Each structure stands twice: as C-alpha cells, then as structure tokens.
A and B are shown apart, each in its own frame.
Chain A
C-alpha cells in the first residue's frame, strides 16, 4: 500500500527547491567559510562535489519525505572521511597512528566529545581537566568541543548521535549491510547498558583521575589513534578495544541491523539521552493512525521503541531522532514533534524546523572533512600516495 503524503514538500519539486534554498546559503557558508577556494583543480573538485552532494541530500529529504534514507548517506560518508583525514593527519604529524608517553605529557591528544562524560566529576573534585589535550587552540581543543556538545545537546538532544557524531556512521553503515538481519529480536533491556557504562566510567574516572573509557574501552581507537604497545597492560587494552570494534561495530550490527556500539557502549549517547528531556524536538506516535504493525519497532536501530513505548505514544529517552521509524511507518503515524504543540497537527512544520538545525550540524562536520578527504583521494589517484 502506498504511504499517504503528509509533508507539504513531498512530491512537490517547487516547494522542495524553495525550502532547500536557505540551506544552499548555509551550505555555502559552512563549506567554503567565505569565498570558495577554487585556486587548484583539486580544491575546485572537492568544493563542488561536497557542495552539490549536500544540497542533493537535503533536497531529496524534502522531496521524498524520507529522512533516514538520505541522512544515513551523509552520516556514513562523514564517518569514513573523518577516519581517512584524521589518520592521514596523524601520520603526517607523528609518523604513525600511535601516540607515546611524550605526546601525552605534551598534551597533544585531540579531545573528542565522548571524553566529556569523564571529565565532569574530576573537574568538580580537583578543579582540573583530566585529559592530556589543549584547553584552547590547536586541533580539537577541549573548550571548542565542550561548546559544541553543550550547544548541540540543547538544540537537538541525542539527535547529535544521528546527525553530527563522526563515529556513529560506522555502525550505522554496518547495520545496513545485511538486507535481512540474522538475529531478528534483541532484548530492549540492552538499551540501558550504555547508562551503566556512563555511570561506571564516570565513577572510575573520578577514582583514578584518568579518562577510563578512552584508556580501556573506546572501540574507535581502531580508526583514529591508540597508545603505542610498550607493556603487557597496553597490549591488553589494545586487544580489548580491537575486540570491541570487531564485535560491536562490525559483527553485531551486521547480524542484528542495530547500531550496537551506539546503543550499548557509548557513554556520550547515554549522557545525550538525558538532554533529550530538555530540548524542543522529540518523536511522537499518533495512536489514532497507528495500526500496531510494529514495523517501527523492528526498524529502530537503537532499541528505543517497544510495544510499551508505542502505547505511551513516544519512544524512550534513548531515541536518536534518526527518522528510521518515521520512514518505516506506512500509516504516517510517527512524526517529528515540537514539545508543547498538538500531537496530530503541523507535521511539516515540526519536521522542517527539526531538519534545518539537524542537517546544518551534518553540514558543519561533513563540509570541511569531505573536502579534505576528496583532495586526499585525488592525490592518491594522481601520485599513488595518500600522504604527500
């Protein structure tokens, strides 16, 4: 059965172009950062490809009414290009993906958003930041990342995990690899595991004054940077994070179709879930339209929808606002919603108002990363070498 049209832009080219226009200006602003740099053929190709790629994605989201389908393309691209550019930059700066004790002592470790979960309690206890990075200035400074995290969590809540996180695209991508998941039912109780991780690593970090998750668990060290193996203890840590990457980012997402790392391990996801309570956007189920087919429950990549949640009319606080359940619903019973407004009206308004900040976040992170990545790939084709 064909899904009824619910959004004003759906199927309408002119309305979609009209609403894409403000985003074109924003994309231009955030990808070029001023007049576009077209000084070399590589830079021109990189800029134009990124620019049109992003515009096309936004236009298709509006025109087709499918949010997750096109969001995921941009999101996975972000994860891949981020890893590529990050690793190449590291190799250029340090000669390898590993960091040494000297790099730690010199506070040269880039700060990622996940570390936020570990520095709060120690900062209260000791008045100091327990991470060997630079507070201001340099690449990925602590202050800049904290500002981003606070701003985004206020604007989108856990929407960050589906629209801006430069790691999330890994298991979002692998969870889509198998056409039909081998393991069809995953107990939704596992959605609370990341909260346990948050609790334990926050307390252990306060106890040891060391960012415990980065030190022991973070699976994304596999595709960014990791400590040079110089002792048995570091070897054990290396085995742990590699195993977690293989299990939670590759095998389990492929088998279940769920974003397993984001759902069960990421402490930042748990922290951002709490901010879902204080931002304006959420996802709601219109029970009058709902036929209880549970297609949304099967589609949800983060186990945030159960039969009980459907009865309650909203997903659990772990919802990442990716839009996959909305795309899956054939009755148009699920929709983005602005808190404080009626549940069964203004679907288009709520969706568009959510899409602008959410897609802009993707543009902010993907714009520069994709251009740098494309330049690297062009040089690889031209010279046969990624690091030039």
Chain B
C-alpha cells in the first residue's frame, strides 16, 4: 500500500471533508466577492490551515500512537471548543463591514491593511479549525496512521490523506464567477452569521 493508502483514503472520503468545510469556507468566499484567482488564493490559505492541523495530528499520532484513541472520551469537549472557536470566527467575519456591504452604509470600519490581514488570517484560521474537526474520515485516518508505528510514517500518511481530500476543493474558487452579484455577497455575510450561531449552539451542547 505504502503512501498511496492515505491518498486513496482521502480521495474516497473527501466529499465528507468538503461537507464539513463547506459551512465555513463557502460563506467566506461568497462574502468576499473576489475574482476566481482571488478565491484560489483564499482556498489555498484555507488548505494551508487544514494541512497544519493534519500534520499536527499526524505528529501526535506518531508520538503517542494508540493512546491517542484512548483520549476519545475527551472528543465531545474538544469538538465543542473547536465549534465555539469556529462560531466566534464566523460571527465576527459576518459582522465585519456588515453595515457597508449589507445595508449600503459607507462606514468603513477597517483600514486597507486591516482588511488585508483579515483576508490572510481568516481563511487560514478557518482551515485550521475545520482541520481539527474530528469528522468520520479523519478518525479513520488517525486509526490507519497509528498502524504505521513511526512519526515520519504517520505525518506522511496525513499529508497524502490531505492531498486526496484537496481534490474536492478545486471547484470552490469558481464561486468568483458570480462576484458581480451584490446579493451573493450579502447572502455570504448572512450565511456566515447563521452558520456561526449554529456552530455555537452545537459547541455548547457538546460541552454541557
């Protein structure tokens, strides 16, 4: 099997990964209304965030091996915290320049440099948080990576798993095709706030 196992696992379960990342990434891409090339940049940043999360988990599973699965009792609390972080991020993004974009009031809240920083850190942080999301394919990947029994093997497994799942993100930048539709931008902002509220609720329910 070698390194192809991780890639094939990612390829076969990547749609589920996309479904988990969609509620975070799609409202962001719509709200930003960037060109297709701009969206490619945002998706790459999001994927870098995901990759960092995957490599961290890969490293952890390589170091502590099967004991990582024994920590599964902590899964609801861990996931709850991740969901709450995602919620905070989405709500803040949804409200950022809300008056200007959605209500048509020219009240620029941030300077250009702030805006640039936002568009750099936000997709990356979103990618990192969703990368930490213990979705079913991800749990399967942890189990498989533990079987490699070494740190480098485990990290490599997660890297190839990441590559396999990334294929499904290729269509997303094409949202930029509709960027001239102002309504889509408004919908993206609203959707970010709504998804944030739902994640917040899910996070709290998981923790308590």
Q: Do A and B come from one complex?
A: yes
Contact check: which of A125, A199, A232 meets B19 at CB < 8 Å? Answer: A125
Interface residues of B in 155-179 (CB under 8 A from A): none
Interface residues of B in 1-59 (CB under 8 A from A): 15-16, 19-20, 22-23, 26-27, 30
Whether the pair A192, B22 counts as a contact (CB closer than 8 A) is: no
Whether the pair A121, B103 counts as a contact (CB closer than 8 A) is: no
Shortest CB-to-CB span from A210 to chain B, Å, is 12
A200/B198 contact (C-beta < 8 A), A187-B103, A189-B102, A189-B103 known: yes
Shortest CB-to-CB span from A23 to chain B, Å, is 37
Q: Does A91 touch B at the CB level, under 8 Å?
A: no
A236/B191 contact (C-beta < 8 A), A189-B103, A199-B26 known: no
Residue numbers in A under 8 Å from B187 (CB-CB) = 192, 195-196, 199
One of A74-82, A157-165, A201-209 contacting the partner: A201-209
A207/B195 contact (C-beta < 8 A), A192-B183, A196-B187, A236-B201 known: no
Residue numbers in A under 8 Å from B20 (CB-CB) = 207
A207/B186 contact (C-beta < 8 A), A200-B194, A216-B198, A236-B201 known: no
How far, in angstroms, from A344 to B172 measured CA to CA in the complex? 42
Q: Does B207 touch A at the CB level, under 8 Å?
A: no
In this complex, which of B19, B27, B104, B193 has the most chain A Cβ atoms within 10 angstroms of its Cβ?
B19
Number of interface residues of A (CB under 8 A): 20
User: Per-residue CB proximity of B112-147 to A under 8 Å, as 1/0?
Assistant: 000000000000000000000000000000000000
Whether the pair A200, B19 counts as a contact (CB closer than 8 A) is: no
User: Per-residue CB proximity of A200-235 to B under 8 Å, as 1/0?
Assistant: 100110110000100010000000000000001100
Name the prevailing secondary structure of the A interface residues: helix
Chain B: which residue is nearest A202 at the CB level? Answer: B22
Number of interface residues of B (CB under 8 A): 26
Q: Does B190 touch A at the CB level, under 8 Å?
A: yes
Whether the pair A195, B23 counts as a contact (CB closer than 8 A) is: no
Chain A: which residue is nearest B104 at the CB level? Answer: A189
Chain B: which residue is nearest A195 at the CB level? Answer: B187
Residue numbers in A under 8 Å from B16 (CB-CB) = 125
How far, in angstroms, from A196 to B195 measured CA to CA in the complex? 9
Q: Does A197 touch B at the CB level, under 8 Å?
A: yes
Chain B: which residue is nearest A207 at the CB level? Answer: B19
Whether the pair B19, A121 counts as a contact (CB closer than 8 A) is: yes
A204/B103 contact (C-beta < 8 A), A192-B183, A196-B190, A236-B201 known: no
How far, in angstroms, from A187 to B189 measured CA to CA in the complex? 16
How far, in angstroms, from A199 to B198 measured CA to CA in the complex? 13
- Interface contact tally, CB-CB below 8 A: 59
Name the prevailing secondary structure of the B interface residues: helix
How far, in angstroms, from A382 to B189 measured CA to CA in the complex? 55
Contact check: which of A187, A192, A232 meets B190 at CB < 8 Å? Answer: A192
Residue numbers in B under 8 Å from A203 (CB-CB) = 19, 22-23, 26, 195
Chain A: which residue is nearest B22 at the CB level? Answer: A203
How far, in angstroms, from A121 to B183 measured CA to CA in the complex? 23
Shortest CB-to-CB span from B98 to chain A, Å, is 10
Interface residues of A in 114-140 (CB under 8 A from B): 121, 125
Chain B: which residue is nearest A193 at the CB level? Answer: B190
Residue numbers in A under 8 Å from B22 (CB-CB) = 203, 206-207
Interface residues of B in 50-102 (CB under 8 A from A): 102
Residue numbers in B under 8 Å from A207 (CB-CB) = 19-20, 22-23
Whether the pair A199, B205 counts as a contact (CB closer than 8 A) is: no
Shortest CB-to-CB span from A319 to chain B, Å, is 14
Residue numbers in B under 8 Å from A197 (CB-CB) = 194
Shortest CB-to-CB span from B38 to chain A, Å, is 20
**Sampled A-B contacts (29; CB under 8 Å):** A121-B19, A125-B15, A125-B16, A187-B103, A189-B102, A189-B103, A189-B104, A189-B186, A192-B183, A192-B187, A195-B187, A196-B188, A196-B189, A196-B190, A196-B191, A196-B193, A196-B194, A197-B194, A199-B30, A199-B187, A199-B191, A200-B27, A200-B195, A203-B19, A204-B195, A206-B22, A207-B22, A207-B23, A216-B201
A residues sitting closer than 8 Å to B (CB atoms) are: 121, 125, 187, 189, 192-193, 195-197, 199-200, 203-204, 206-207, 212, 216, 232-233, 236
Beyond A196-B187, A199-B187, 16 additional contacts (C-beta under 8 Å) are A125-B16, A192-B186, A192-B187, A193-B190, A195-B183, A196-B193, A197-B194, A200-B194, A203-B22, A206-B19, A207-B22, A207-B23, A216-B198, A216-B201, A232-B205, A233-B205
Question: Sorted from nearest, which 6 A-B pairs have the closest CB atoms?
Answer: A196-B190, A196-B191, A206-B19, A203-B22, A203-B23, A195-B187
